[in-house]
Amino acid sequence: MEDISLHSKKRSIRVFDFVLLLIVGLGMVFAGHFVISRIFAGNLDNLSRNKSFLLNELNLELTGNPARDLELVKAEREALDVEFGKYNRNINELISHIDLKEKDILFLNIVEAYLSDTQALQTTFNKLEYNGDTGELLYYVVYEQNKIPEKLSPLEIPNSVVVNISKTDEIEFSDYVLKLVNLQVGE
Amino acid sequence: MAESENKNITLISPKYKKRAKKTLYRLDKKAISAKTAIIVLLCVILPTFGYFIAFYAYTGLTSVENLTREFNELENTFKSVQQLKQVYNNTVDKLVKLSKTDEIAARLDLTSQPGEYNDIKYKAEPEEMLPLVNMLFTDPGIKINSIVLRSNLGFPVLPETRLESGVMLELSVNYTISRQIQ
Q: DSSP string of chain A?
A: -----SS-SS-EEEHHHHHHHHHHHHHHHHHHHHHHHHHHHHHHHHHHHHTHHHHHHHT----S-HHHHHHHHHHHHHHHHHHHHHHHHHHHHHHHHHHHHHHHHHHHHHHHHHHT-SS-SEEEEEEEEE-SS-EEEEEEEEEETT---SS--PPP--TTS-EEEEEEEEEE-SSEEEEEEEEEE--
The pLDDT tens digits for B44-88 are 999 999 999 999 999 988 988 999 999 999 999 999 999 999 999
Nearest CB partner across the interface for A142, out of B68, B147, B158: B158
Q: Which pLDDT does position A148 carry in this prediction? A: 82
Q: How far apart are CA A132 and CA B144, in angstroms?
A: 6
Pairing verdict, β B31-33 and A163-172: unpaired
* B6 part of a folded domain: no
Structural domain for B34, as ranges: 15-98
The number of C-beta contacts closer than 8 angstroms across A and B is: 204
Q: Does B19 lie in the same domain as B93?
A: yes
Within-domain flag for B1:
no
> Looking at per-residue confidence, does B23 or B85 come out higher?
B85
Within a domain: residue B10?
no
Q: Which of B75, B98, B121 is the last residue of a domain?
A: B98
A180 in Cβ contact with A168 (< 8 Å): yes
Residue B41 with chain A: CB contacts under 8 Å: 18, 21-22, 25
Chain B residues whose CB is inside 8 A of the A54 CB are: 71, 74-75, 78
Decide which of B82, B98, B114 is a domain's last residue. B98
Instruction: Tell which of B44, B69, B98 closes a domain.
Output: B98
B59/B132 same-domain check: no
Q: What is the pLDDT of residue B1?
A: 47
Q: CB distance B88–A94 less than 8 Å? A: yes
**Residue B3 resides in a domain:** no
The rounded mean pLDDT for chain A is 87
- d(CA B109, nearest CA chain A) in Å: 22
Residue B3 has pLDDT above 80, yes or no: no
B107 and B164: one domain? yes
Please tell me whether residues B94 and B123 are part of one structural domain.
no
Looking at residue A11, its amino acid is R
Q: What's the domain count of chain B? A: 2
DSSP B166: -
- For B114-143, the pLDDT digits (tens) are 999 999 999 998 889 999 999 999 999 999
Q: Is residue B142 part of a domain?
A: yes
Residue spans of the domains in chain A: they are 117-185
Q: What is the pLDDT of residues A125-160, one digit of tens each?
A: 889 999 988 999 999 888 888 888 888 888 887 666
The answer to whether residue B74 is domain-embedded is: yes
